[in-house]
Amino acid sequence: MSATFWIGLLAGAVILLVLVLWSSRRHRSPHLKMECDAPVEQLVRSLAGLSLGTPIAGNSVELLKNGHYFDVVIDRIAQARETVHFETFLWKEGELGRRMAAALAERARAGLKVRVLLDATGCREIGDGERRLMEEAGARVRFFHPHSIYNLGVMTDRDHRKIVVIDGREAFLGGHCITDEWLGDAEDHKHFADLSVHLHGPIVHTIQSAFSENWAGDTGELFVGDGVFPALEPAGDVLVHAAFIKPENSAPAVKILHHAVLCMARERIWIQNPYFIPEPEAIDALGAAVRRGVDVRVLMPSTEGSDNPLVQHIAHRNFEKILRCGVRLFEYPHTLLHQKAMTVDGKWCAVGSTNFDDRSFDTNDEITLGFLHPPLAKELDAHFEHYAARAQEVQLEAWRRRGWWPKLRDNALYLLNEVF
């Protein structure tokens, strides 16, 4: 047979493989739609159930902002008595990495079970000294989907969660990563803004379960006992539910959660997210909310403020359509706003690791917590207003008048939507 035949056969095999991989993603991405008449506070059980969770009462929540988060986390790790579980997407060598590694290593040397789960892609720049410090102290450090032929089919699947669970009794969850840019108070372009929550109460078991999911998947270890799943008494009056499950033949829970609340809002939806690239059905849901009289606003970094300007150019591709729907868009140019938060009607709110894009909704392992707690929603709205005051609101007419080059660039980059 000729060389042309074999080249054609090889090309066909490659195309078939690409189609199989594409199809494996597509079957988990249905076009979601929902109709409802009741307000969000009456639908929390439905919202939790749809996103494969359960509303859990009796919790307390504290919102932690910017670099202060690490002061609290490191102090609480130092108070641990039995176990420390730590999971993150991004860890780069530096001052913060050394502080965190030292805190985890100290507890391991004290005889505690310290488990550290790091995404292999996001944490590839962790310092050898930081990793060695933890391992030599007795901490178990593992990487999620390390780069190998064995993991070729899941190389783009990333563990984007940021979780800390201490003694199975308290947990931290949000957007904070382990690089020096997360220190400080977002005071300049080199220091980022972010939000995480500190939790006590029965919801901690759910967060521990989320950590266990990937830990068991990568190590095979199932941990049990009161040091990881102790009896937990009520610690407050906050109702919380978690979305993190990725069923094989349906949309991931975080995607359902984010879409469903867009359909439930009756007064306002305020979104804070660093990578806001909604799919057409989400844009339609946002537009439908505006037509119901809902005040819809989105706060995000501009290309000048983003840590990845290409992603913001990708987001720009749909700005005109979103603005025509009546959604108000605010871009913050001074530094990266990395918080992933949302409030609905001043009553329900969410904080987590999930970006408002296809990679988070369909590919990454994520976790978002929903709270029926007006005081936390009020605090998140105040945080929105704090940064929106220095942001630039995008105006529809000015956006339409952009030249041909920005429009061409944004449409071309959008083809890479799910790569970044």
CATH number at residue 394: 3.30.870.10
Same-domain check for residues 370 and 356: yes
Residue 106 lies in a domain: yes
Residue 12 lies in a domain: no
Residue 11 lies in a domain: no
- The rounded radius of gyration (Å) of the Cα atoms in the chain is 22
Same-domain check for residues 314 and 353: yes
User: What's the whole-model pTM score?
Assistant: 0.92
What b/e sequence results for 112-131 when a residue is b if at least 16 CB atoms lie within 10 Å of its CB, and e otherwise? bbbbbbbbbbbbeebeeebb
Residue 352 lies in a domain: yes
How much is the pLDDT for 27?
46
Tell me which residues of the chain have a pLDDT lower than 50.
27
Q: Which residues contact 51 (CB under 8 A, 6 or more apart)?
A: 241, 243, 245, 253, 254, 256, 257, 260, 370
Same-domain check for residues 226 and 250: no
Q: Which residues contact 2 (CB under 8 A, 6 or more apart)?
A: none
SS3 letters for 139-170? CEEEEECCCCHHHHHHCCCCECCCEEEECCCE
Residue 8 lies in a domain: no
How much is the pLDDT for 14?
72
Contact in structure between 302 and 332 (CB atoms under 8 Å)? yes
Same-domain check for residues 270 and 397: yes
How much is the pLDDT for 399?
93
The last residue of a domain, from among 213, 237, 261? 237
Same-domain check for residues 275 and 229: no
End-to-end CA distance of the chain: give it in Å, rounded.
42
Contact in structure between 144 and 118 (CB atoms under 8 Å)? yes
Same-domain check for residues 183 and 260: no
Same-domain check for residues 79 and 203: yes
How much is the pLDDT for 419?
62
Place of tokens 């550290």: 116
Nearest of 301, 87, 341, 320 to residue 214 by alpha carbon: 87
Nearest of 194, 220, 157 to residue 307 by alpha carbon: 194
C-alpha 226/C-alpha 1 separation (Å) is: 67
The last residue of a domain, from among 176, 203, 237? 237
C-alpha 242/C-alpha 21 separation (Å) is: 29
Q: In the chain, how many domains are there?
A: 2
C-alpha 86/C-alpha 258 separation (Å) is: 25
The last residue of a domain, from among 206, 221, 237? 237
C-alpha 318/C-alpha 283 separation (Å) is: 9
Domain extent, residue 186, equals 60-237
C-alpha 119/C-alpha 40 separation (Å) is: 34
C-alpha 10/C-alpha 76 separation (Å) is: 56
The greatest distance separating any two alpha carbons of the chain, rounded to the nearest whole angstrom, comes to 75
* Residue 85 in tokens: 């579980």
C-alpha 162/C-alpha 118 separation (Å) is: 10
Same-domain check for residues 405 and 291: yes
Same-domain check for residues 336 and 195: no
Same-domain check for residues 230 and 282: no
Same-domain check for residues 82 and 230: yes
